[in-house]
Structure 1
């Protein structure tokens, strides 16, 4: 017959093993409406650059990714409320966001662009956008940039990028302001073929921060160290570049 001590030891080890197994799955928040970074395809499968990067990081950390789709305006609150452990969803590292969450090293850098109808003159300055209705995503760095940098424009906010692209295509908007790479991807589609980038691309650190980072809850130092180490590894071992080249014709390395 086992002694009480040995039984307690077995129970403790069993609980420890269960806890270790629980840690093998890392919950990751993602929007799922931001092609080609993250989107749900016609078969209901989540895919994109962010998704592949997250999976590569999980491989490096020897854990399993479990993705949780979350609307953009609630993606940071859901992290704080413990719906998932981290966000890999093209979150720009702004000072406002740094006040509430912790960020990894940047994993890519992006520009902002205006996109409007081909052949239609549009001066991208204060006077040129006066009276223009510009679509932008709610709670994004681009919404803040539009309202502060181009106050003469009328900002119309949407829950997701596909929503403002749909209204642009249907003639309800004069232009949209969004991230360069997703918009260049959209311009290649049937819906985007009659539109073009207007003016120059903007890379304003005041609004877009230092690039896109992986967001974690403040205080999750051990996980942050693992994430940064895994990111360093994929940048060195070629995995990052392979994912980059799968989606983009140019490097977006940080």
Structure 2
């Protein structure tokens, strides 16, 4: 056997070892990114009371948080909460930073193009808030030249851009709801559009909301505002979706969801 043949045999052996090592690493990487069957990771943007917010202690609290914890209990898994900006929730879900979006996200056709949803868990009206006595109404004619605040990436943003932005209404987007309320109270905004309970609990019932009120009737447009709020999941996670839906159905049937709704809102907003 000559020297060249020996070298060729060594190269072939090394190439085989490299391929085997690469395959092993690939399997390990895949396992590392696989969902832990004992854990359910929820993505949340925690500045939207009473749905999700932080207590002074830093602990997450709210209607969606309680529902999520109840789902984990029914599924017999550990809940892990991953905080993320609202407008980045879908991208973070697809990047596998968490398994389920649970953050007051309305179900719309636009979002369904990217992700799947559970059936609606609850339905909450969307309404505009403005200074009491300002005479503003949620119409392009009334709001022309005004500054309207909305949460970035929300269905509210889709609505106001579709119906108002092209008719002289200035739309200002924010990364979280607290910033909207701060600018509204400071006079940097003329009005803000958000879910009714969020406006009530996060602004109107607080000292900074004194002198403000709902302006006009709730907004309506199923295309942009959706058909209720549900959990968002990746399109290829059918098995996980089935488990989450089964847990939600169980919580609906035994009255747990209705009890949580009464706790936070004094009425039943659970989707039937």
TM-score calculated relative to the size of structure 1: 0.89
* Residue of structure 1 equivalent to 2:236: 219
Which of these residues, 112, 120, 141, is aligned with residue 127 of structure 1? 141
Q: Which has the higher helix share?
A: 2
CA contact (8 A) 2:130 2:190 kept: yes
> How far 1:158 sits from its partner (Å)?
0.7
Structure 1 segment 1-254 matched on structure 2, within 5 A: 22-151=36-165, 152-185=168-201, 186-254=203-271
CA RMSD in angstroms comes to: 1.4
Deviations 1:217-249 (A, max 9, x none): 111111111111111111111111111111102
Contact preservation (8 Å) 1:110, 1:203: no
**What's 2:30 paired with?**
none
Cα pair 2:120 2:227 within 8 Å, conserved: yes
CA–CA distance in structure 2, aligned partners of residues 174 and 209 of structure 1:
25
The TM-score, its normalising length taken from structure 2, stands at 0.84
Contact 1:27 1:84 in 2 (8 A): yes
Structure 1 position 184, deviation (Å): 1.6
Check conservation: 2:258, 2:269, Cα contact below 8 A: no
Q: CA deviation at 1:38?
A: 0.3
Structure 1 CA distance, aligned partners of 2:230 and 2:182?
28
Structure 2 runs not aligned, ≥5 long: 1-34
- Unpaired segments ≥5 residues, structure 1: 1-20
Larger Rg: 2
**Which whole-Å CA distance do the structure 2 matches of 1:33 and 1:253 have between them?**
21
Task: Report how many residues are paired.
Answer: 235
* 1:96-140 deviation digits (Å, cap 9, x = unpaired): 110111101110112111101112211322211111111111111
